[in-house]
Structure 1
Amino acid sequence: MDGDTIVIDGTHIRIAGIDAPELDHPWGKKSKWTLVQMCKGQVVTARLRPDLSYDRVVAECFLPDGRDIAAELVRAGMALDWPKFSGGRYRHLEAPDARKRLWRADARQRGKLPPKSEIKG
């Protein structure tokens, strides 16, 4: 779907604790394709959480070797830690320039942009 949403057996799953750029952001498509390449041909395990995000299930997602997909996306500079939902779990993995580069995701987290569900496009 995008850099922080995957589809497993027809269910849209929001990857917990991170925020990736929207597809119309300069880094949005790169984030999406990083996630696609990471998961392609893999069996992804989703540990569901009780919350919903804009009618999407929220889950911690893992690759077969145990790697946390959220951590891998943040480490690759394709997503930001979202402390409100992660408790800061991934912040130490962010590249020094990640918040500047992914400025719209950072602004959304600080309440400077509308939530994803209100963004038209």
Structure 2
Amino acid sequence: MIVFATGFALLLAASQGEVYVARGDTLVISGTPIRLHGIERPQNSRKEAETARQQMQRIIEGSFVTCGISDKRIGHQRIGTCTANGEDIAAAMVASGHALDCERFSEGRYRALEPKGARSRLVPSQQCEK
């Protein structure tokens, strides 16, 4: 793992062996859980949640993953923006229909990427609505 730190910003970079998908919105790099900034995983069914986790696994598989981490947390998780070989993982999750834009935190950054019908299929939680 490569770690770079400046002020409150932290960048973690990991090879595939040091990163795994905990949930459809959370990666773990060398033991550090990182919640992807601005998206929300499906919460309406276990099947949808597991499908989202599997999709993120496909996105990162064989990739070099980097995360810019903020000083904010949700519980024990750090909040970060992560890429797999330079591709924004959160954007890929939303565009594939496996996660939703969390407008409260993203300011709508990923909303246009949501496929038609995603909001009716993957019901957003109240915490993500403005």
TM bucket (normalised to shorter chain) is 0.7 to 0.9
> Could you give the per-residue CA deviations for residues 56-94 of structure 1, whole angstroms, max 9, x where no partner exists?
011000111x21000000000000000111010000000
Partner of 1:56: 77
DSSP-derived class of the 1:21 partner: coil
Aligned residue identity for 1:77: G
Matches of 1:68 and 1:27 in 2, distance apart?
A: 21
**Identity of aligned pairs, percent?**
35
Aligned residue identity for 2:109: R
Partner of 1:107: 125
Paired residues for 1:6-85 under 5 Å = 6-22=27-43, 24-64=45-85, 66-85=86-105
Aligned residue identity for 1:94: E
Matches of 1:68 and 1:49 in 2, distance apart?
A: 16
> In terms of Rg, which structure is larger?
2
Query: Does the 8 Å contact 1:81/1:91 carry over to 2?
Result: yes
Query: Does the 8 Å contact 1:31/1:78 carry over to 2?
Result: yes
Matches of 1:49 and 1:40 in 2, distance apart?
A: 24
> Unpaired segments of 5 or more residues in structure 1?
112-121
Matches of 1:10 and 1:49 in 2, distance apart?
A: 17
DSSP-derived class of the 2:87 partner: coil
> Could you give the per-residue CA deviations for residues 27-76 of structure 1, whole angstroms, max 9, x where no partner exists?
11110000011112211000111210111011000111x21000000000
Matches of 1:57 and 1:88 in 2, distance apart?
A: 21
Partner of 1:114: none
Normalising by structure 2, we get a TM-score of 0.77
How much is the aligned-residue C-alpha RMSD, in angstroms?
1.7
> Following TM superposition, where does structure 1 have runs of at least 4 consecutive aligned residues deviating by more than 4 angstroms?
none
Q: Which moved more, 1:28-37 or 1:15-24?
A: 15-24
Higher strand share: 2
